[in-house]
Structure 1
């Protein structure tokens, strides 16, 4: 066996040389059977051809080497996990209003406003708030916020590692995102400490980037996987409710109390070619656009203090209009050229030119993305967010079902909501091999980010899916 391996290695490393020697030997044998004139002519041709062949071969080898060294490495989504809080943390409408009244922080007008927002929000009666918010008065301490973060982050990661059989010490990259809660040490350091990750770990903590930060985190992990060989990257997305509830009476800042709920996700990415056999998805595209240079867009979701000094996030009435503009930019100027057929691209360009050059006042052509993508995971930011994107993309109810049901069951879990939606689609058995999934996330700044995945096989729900005990009840009729 030893000599077979040596022979195999010799043949592999010297194959080109052996082939060249064989070619030369054949030519020599053929030449020996010709007269001198023919031999002289053949020698001249051989010299010329040999130089050409060697030059061409060298160029081909060089080009192949450059291509192999510089082409993007494939990134695989091995599996992911969404945190499901315990049942004792459920918060229905009536309990929420009663708890809010007992805190003494809100006047009757604010309580009535929050009740109306809840009824129209698209949230169901079984969403979750952290344990600290179930106390009277709420425990809004740093310790309580850390406790919430640990429960969500470790809960998602424990399940992910159990489902994938990956040793945490094999993780080479950790990207953590949480917009409003960024303690010292960071949340990413908390993960390193909990799982005793190796000292050479590449650890990143993203803050203040809003509900679209999950896609940003995946984008960062993808870039890091291009330079670090044969490793895993873990992307963890969550938002902290405990330290960020608003206890004032400014209407634009009360909406956050009604929509945001406990949730989080952990995603395992790999650049190992061996993981293609077990991975669920392959990363196809990530497209991001930022409207921060526009003052209106920059301030449409803005953390500040009200006149009484109470901190919260103020949501502008222009938010939906700005979200629509950000989405159109993302899909037409950035994502469209990557995924749409030439015919759709030409139609879009034609309508733009007609409006610009001839003042034709033709509505911009909206491509039929239903022909390009099989499944849509639109950030469950609220009923109005889903309505706006459904209208702009000309989608059918089934295309936004995962988003509406996620909002109903779990509320707005910020950057992790797109993973609860993907889990819903898997639980319904809808994802087949070759299907393309489009995750769309909107966030403060203002940003619109897209990520496209291709299913490598029929995707089954992972063990301990957040929909495991309730998928049979969905879809349900939500408020219109």
Structure 2
């Protein structure tokens, strides 16, 4: 029942170790999976350098354990590095490794991740070289990061632990959706003034002030984010996550379509999921010059990270777009 209502289709991927009989749960099997998708794990950083014979003065950073929002964190780090070092390149690699993270117990709250997480990966190439502007698809405009780890409830709402039988897995709290919504609200409080039209900012801060003056009796004004962005890449963490964000931001089904279709076709591929969504928008031919994209990533901790991108040209799908062979079948009608 959990799997049927998860929003995933039947073409998502699990690693070979998880479909082998019996399961092959080992570091060797996890490394095999990582070799396919270049997961940034402790050893895999060295593996990437070795495979591509990168030069000895390359700077590498491991962001493993940062949860599903790690990709935007990686972009933020790359941005800072590019600001410090002129005429350079940066590559951000993000992926999901499920081999060592399967749960084999009976706790329902810990079984949910088994039904959501699937194999996937993406790489993003960034540069500050002026000559690359002709080839670039997007310009990074803003990165805003919010971390609510100081709050015990937020810290433990998505947490790896052992069940009563001693079996390890990821526990998802019933408060997860509410915490995600609150964290997004905190994040947008910082992001909003950077991207919203002045008229929306005035309405928002006026009602915020009125709410304080009248002891919370004034209904808060929810800014229309559609006035700031043409496209939304919402972390495909699960059907409930997408539902909550779509409702909270007042988005149309078309705005949430990239997230829903990515979840259906590829599952929750952790920090790489929003890149699959961007590829979906490109494959559909919807990305026009000047369009703005809000990339929204959630992760354990609890974190909400936003990146804002601006299209520098009409973007056509790249040769190896992951949707190339199936985009004509989408969107599909989902029934839960």
Task: Using structure 1 for the length normalisation, give the TM-score.
Answer: 0.69
Question: Which whole-Å CA distance do the structure 1 matches of 2:50 and 2:112 have between them?
Answer: 35
2:274 pairs, out of 418, 435, 441, with 418
Q: Does 1:145 align with 2:30?
A: yes
Helix, strand or coil at the partner of 1:465: coil
User: For 2:204, which of 337, 348, 353 is the aligned residue?
Assistant: 348
Q: Residues 238-387 of structure 1 correspond to what in structure 2 (within 5 A)?
A: 238-331=95-188, 333-359=189-215, 361-387=217-243
Q: 1:206 aligns with which of 59, 63, 83?
A: 63
Equivalent of 2:15, from 125, 130, 134?
130
Q: In 2, are the aligned partners of 1:187 and 1:205 still within 8 Å (CA)? A: no
Partner of 1:436: 292
Answer yes or no: is the 8 Å Cα contact 1:283–1:452 preserved in 2: yes
CA distance in 2, matches of 1:207, 1:402: 26
1:400 and 2:291 equivalent?
no
CA deviation string 1:79-131 (max 9, x = no partner): xxxxxxxxxxxxxxxxxxxxxxxxxxxxxxxxxxxxx1111111011111001
The answer to whether the 8 A contact 2:204-2:222 is kept is yes
Aligned counterparts of 1:360 and 1:191: Cα–Cα separation in 2: 53
Secondary structure in structure 2 of the residue aligned to 1:404: helix
Whole-Å Cα distance in 2 between the matches of residues 289 and 360 of structure 1? 24
Counterparts of 2:115 and 2:151, CA distance in 1 = 28
Q: CA deviation at 1:360?
A: 5.3
Q: Secondary structure at the match of 2:313?
A: coil
How big is the shift at 1:466? Answer: 0.7
Distance 2:101 2:255 in 1: 32
Gaps of 5+ in 1: 1-115, 154-175
1:448 maps to what in 2? 304
List alignment gaps of at least 5 residues for structure 2: none
Q: Secondary structure at the match of 1:303?
A: strand
How far is 1:352 from its partner?
A: 1.3
Give 4+ residue runs of structure 1 displaced > 4 Å after superposition: none
Are the aligned partners of 2:197 and 2:227 in contact in 1 as well (CA < 8 Å)? no
Q: Distance in 1 between matches of 2:312 and 2:332?
A: 30
Report whether the alignment pairs 1:218 with 2:75. Answer: yes
TM-score (norm 2): 0.98
Distance in 2 (alpha carbons) for counterparts of 1:267 and 1:150: 17
Higher Cα Rg, which structure: 1
2:87 equivalent in structure 1? 230
SS of the residue corresponding to residue 304 of structure 1 reads strand
- Pairing 1:463–2:319 present: yes
Query: Which whole-Å CA distance do the structure 2 matches of 1:428 and 1:351 have between them?
Result: 38
Q: Displacement of 1:311 after TM fit?
A: 0.9
Aligned to 2:323, the other structure's residue is in SS state: coil
Q: Does 1:195 align with 2:52?
A: yes
Alpha-carbon offset, residue 364 of structure 1: 1.4
Please give the alpha-carbon distance, in whole angstroms, between the structure 2 residues aligned to 1:479 and 1:449. Answer: 30
Q: Aligned partners of 2:190 and 2:73: how far apart in 1?
A: 16
Separation in structure 2 between the aligned mates of residue 208 and residue 479 of structure 1, nearest angstrom: 34
- The 10-residue stretch of structure 1 (341-350 or 426-435) with the greater mean CA deviation from structure 2: 341-350
Q: How does 1:77-116 map to 2 (within 5 A)?
A: 116=1
Which structure has more relative contact order (CA 8 Å, sep 6+)? It is 2
